Structure 1
């Protein structure tokens, strides 16, 4: 479904990604794990066309999207749930959800998707008339995920969804990610919480200093000595 071929990217004169290659198959949960500043979020921003690669290529469903405008990437079915939620704080929860359904594919399915996300997120359903800024961090994260689902994505990108959340809320977030994947949406998730994300993923990539240092089935990575020592504290 998604292929990155030897992608190099960064910000200005600073190169962050040094020839990243990875693939995500339809129906999978794939994770990119690594330390702070390793290039995880930059990878997602490059896939989303928020930054353009300086070399290499990106394909989605066999189509080259390397230089495609960000809004066109969303129209094709790639949606990102950004780090730190990035909701519209003074808009209501419902208005935030409506902002997720602006694509041509999503508009005719608005009612259907709204019913779906409110069933999945009952706390969100209780908060529809509240301003987003009035919610707790966990509730805001659920709204951010729900907003992403409103665009009817084929592939959802999650950027550090557990960041700053209490452990019990982190568990809830990962349960939701599993449900989204089970419903037929492919997932690529970036996380510093290596243990939690490898538990739900099918496959994983380890990124270090802007390069893929290791990849394989999630359970195999979980048992790798380097990962256990470097990221799991075992």
Structure 2
């Protein structure tokens, strides 16, 4: 579904990603794990077209999207839920959700998809008319995820979905990701919470200093000595 081949990218003269290759198959949950500053967010920004690679290629469903604008990549069904949620705090929950249905293919089914999303997030049903600023951090993360689903994504990408959340809420967020996958959406997660994300994923990549240093099934990575020592504290 998604394939990166030899992708390098960065900001100005600074290279952040160096020869990154990875792939995601339809229906999978794939994670990219690594320390802060390893290049995880840069990878997502490059996939969605917010950064242009300096080398390499990106293909989505067989189409070369390397040079496409972020708007065009989104229209193909690649949706990013950014770190920090980036909601509209003074708008209501309902207004934020409807903002998610901006993708051309999502607009005709906006009402039906909203109903499906609220079935998945029943807590938001009672908060549709509340301003986002009044919600807890966990509820705001639910709004961010629900807004992403309103775009009817083919590939939904999460950037640090557990950041700043209490442990109980983190567990709820990963449970929700499992439910989303069950609806047929392919998922890519970038996360510092390595254990939780590997337990949720089918496969994973370990990114260090802008390079992929390990790739394997999630179960194998949990047992890998380097991962256990560097990221799991075992």
Helix, strand or coil for the counterpart of 2:7?
Answer: strand
Matched residues in 2 for 1:230 and 1:157: separation? Answer: 24
Query: Which residue does the alignment assign to 2:153?
Result: 153
The number of aligned residues is 234
Query: What's the offset of the Cα at 1:90?
Result: 0.8
**Cα deviations by residue, 1:180-211 (Å, 9 ceiling, x for unpaired):** 11110000000000000000100000000000
Query: What's the offset of the Cα at 1:217?
Result: 0.4
1:186-197 equivalence runs, <5 A: 186-197=186-197
> Structure 1 length normalisation: TM-score?
0.99
Query: Which residue does the alignment assign to 1:141?
Result: 141
1:27-176 equivalence runs, <5 A: 27-176=27-176
Query: Which residue does the alignment assign to 2:13?
Result: 13
Query: What's the offset of the Cα at 1:66?
Result: 0.5
1:169-208 equivalence runs, <5 A: 169-208=169-208
The RMSD of aligned alpha carbons is 0.5
Q: Which runs of 5+ in 1 are unaligned?
A: none
Matched residues in 1 for 2:148 and 2:45: separation? Answer: 15
Matched residues in 2 for 1:168 and 1:42: separation? Answer: 28
Helix, strand or coil for the counterpart of 2:101?
Answer: coil
Matched residues in 2 for 1:219 and 1:13: separation? Answer: 37
Matched residues in 2 for 1:193 and 1:104: separation? Answer: 34
Q: Which runs of 5+ in 2 are unaligned?
A: none
Matched residues in 2 for 1:92 and 1:101: separation? Answer: 15
> Any runs of at least 4 consecutive aligned residues in structure 1 with deviations exceeding 2 A, and if so which?
none
Query: What's the offset of the Cα at 1:143?
Result: 0.1
Helix, strand or coil for the counterpart of 1:101?
Answer: helix
Matched residues in 2 for 1:218 and 1:149: separation? Answer: 25
